[in-house]
Structure 1
């Protein structure tokens, strides 16, 4: 069995060709798609976070709204850029969203990705410590956040408070019990996947990975997952971790599907550079008739290794069409692969 959810970047553009023409459209349609996905039997509604872009940005109001409108579906991010985050304020936001959803929050975080602006985190008031870079800063923010999630008191109470305090040092509120085990780290390299395992976080591996061996993307990603699980076991954690991969997958079941995503030939991995220095490999998209799609996905080693699959959706095509995309995978593909 495999959990299947969707991942939306929440793109919007003021264009007549877009079904999502404003930030309000992107937010409200994200809520509607999560409700529709839950009704279809999907397991998760996940959202990407980008700053300085016409995409979803501040995640917690959206997560809280989705949590209030749904009952069973997991609600998450993939991922929040920790270079931009105040871990203390983030803890309060995350705790509130988790409590509103009844403990369904699955929070994906990371050190960040290429940005729309140069060093955007500086505008948010953050800068790396001496001798460190922005990636170190993102990981430091993450470590503080993980420590706060333990729910232990650390702040000296006022001896004459406005309201009575519980005994001892005070912690941030609200505390969301169990959220610490539902934190995921978005890793692009094997080393950061191992770091995530050592820190007791679940693993999110997306359609972009540092090209470390020159092998096909899905093979490198599967090796990353195996390295992560070995590090998890070596760290001695008691629970079983979760691992997700993201893919663009379209079952061509009607003429509209073929018009949008039908193409001649096979899609393939692509290689590029992040920040003009890091060689990265980008995973292929899948678009085929359901029977052919089943065979293609069966050969994807990383999907086989993961317990959770996030379907990246073309959100600007609207809620109805994206619900159809999700339903086609759940109905025509997942059962044939033993995922349902």
Structure 2
């Protein structure tokens, strides 16, 4: 059995060819797609966060709105770039959104990837400490975030407060019990997967990672998951971890699917550089008739290792079509692979 959700970047464009022409369209359609996905029986609605881009950015108003409109589906991010975040303010926002959703938040966070502008986090008022990199800063913000989510008091109360205080040091409010165990780390390498396991975070692995040994993407990703699980075991955590992978998967079941994705040309891994020195491997896309798709996906070692699969959706094609994409996987592919 696998949990199956969607992952939307929330792209929007004023082009006449786009079904999502404004930021408002992107947000409102994201809510509608989450509602539709829940009705179809999907397990998760996840959203990517990018700054300075015509995509989804500030996640917590959206997560709270989705939480208020749905009742069962998991609601998450994949991922929030921690270089841009005030971890204490973020903990308050996350606690509020999780309480609205009834404890269904699954927050994916990360040190971040190259963005639309140079050192965009500087415009948000952050900079690395002396001798540290922006990646170090992102991980430091994550550590603070994880710490305050535990709900322990740390702030000295005012002896003459405006309102009565409970005894002892004060914690951030609102606190949502259990959210700390529903934080995921988006790891781009084996080393950061190990780091996430040591800190008790679930693992999110995307459609790209550092090219560490020249093997096919899905083989490297499966190895990363095994490294993560071994590190989790060594850390002695009491609960079982969760692992997600994301994929672009399209079952070609009608003429629209064939027109959009029948000649996609994305059926091979690609290698490139995500900055001046990091060689990365980008995983292939899958688009085929259901029977062929089942055979292809059965050979993907990383999907087999993961307990959660996130389907990246072409959100600018509209809510109805994206609901169709999700339904096609749930109906025509998942049962044949034993995922349902």
Q: TM class by shorter-chain length? A: over 0.9
Distance 1:236 1:42 in 2: 32
Aligned position for 1:75: 75
Contact in 1 for aligned 2:157/2:169 (Cα 8 Å): yes
Distance 1:165 1:180 in 2: 24
Helix, strand or coil at the partner of 1:80: strand
Contact in 1 for aligned 2:290/2:332 (Cα 8 Å): yes
Write out aligned runs for 1:232-251 (5 A): 232-251=232-251
Using the size of structure 2 for normalisation, the TM-score is 0.99
Distance apart, 1:275 and its partner CA? 1.1
Distance apart, 1:24 and its partner CA? 0.0
Cα deviation code 1:211-243 (max 9, x no counterpart): 000000000000000000000000000100000
Distance 1:280 1:22 in 2: 32
Distance 1:165 1:46 in 2: 37
Farther-moved stretch of structure 1 (259-268 vs 40-49): 259-268
Question: Structure 2, unaligned stretches of length 5 or more?
Answer: none
Aligned position for 2:324: 324
Aligned position for 2:30: 30
Contact in 1 for aligned 2:266/2:284 (Cα 8 Å): no
Write out aligned runs for 1:167-178 (5 A): 167-178=167-178
Cα deviation code 1:251-270 (max 9, x no counterpart): 00000000000028771000
Aligned position for 2:336: 336
Aligned position for 2:202: 202
Helix, strand or coil at the partner of 1:57: coil
2:60 equivalent to 1:60: yes
Aligned position for 2:96: 96
Helix, strand or coil at the partner of 2:62: helix
Write out aligned runs for 1:123-202 (5 A): 123-202=123-202
Distance 1:162 1:135 in 2: 39
Contact in 1 for aligned 2:82/2:112 (Cα 8 Å): yes
Distance 2:181 2:133 in 1: 28
Helix, strand or coil at the partner of 1:215: coil
Helix, strand or coil at the partner of 1:30: helix
Distance apart, 1:158 and its partner CA? 0.8
Distance apart, 1:276 and its partner CA? 1.8
Query: In the superposition, relative to structure 1, how do residues 12 and 265 fare at CA in structure 2: closer, same or farther (>3 Å)?
Result: closer
Distance 1:43 1:124 in 2: 34
Distance 1:33 1:266 in 2: 25
2:262 equivalent to 1:262: yes
Distance 1:230 1:162 in 2: 49
Contact in 1 for aligned 2:264/2:287 (Cα 8 Å): no
Matched residue count: 340
After the TM superposition, which parts of structure 1 deviate over 6 Å for at least 4 consecutive aligned residues? none
2:257 equivalent to 1:253: no
Distance 2:31 2:183 in 1: 22
Farther-moved stretch of structure 1 (262-271 vs 150-159): 262-271
Instruction: Give the alignment's Cα RMSD to 1 decimal.
Output: 0.7
Farther-moved stretch of structure 1 (264-273 vs 162-171): 264-273
Distance 2:205 2:112 in 1: 13
2:298 equivalent to 1:298: yes
Distance 2:164 2:263 in 1: 66
Distance 2:149 2:88 in 1: 10
Question: Structure 1, unaligned stretches of length 5 or more?
Answer: none
Using the size of structure 1 for normalisation, the TM-score is 0.99
Helix, strand or coil at the partner of 2:229: helix
Distance 2:269 2:145 in 1: 35
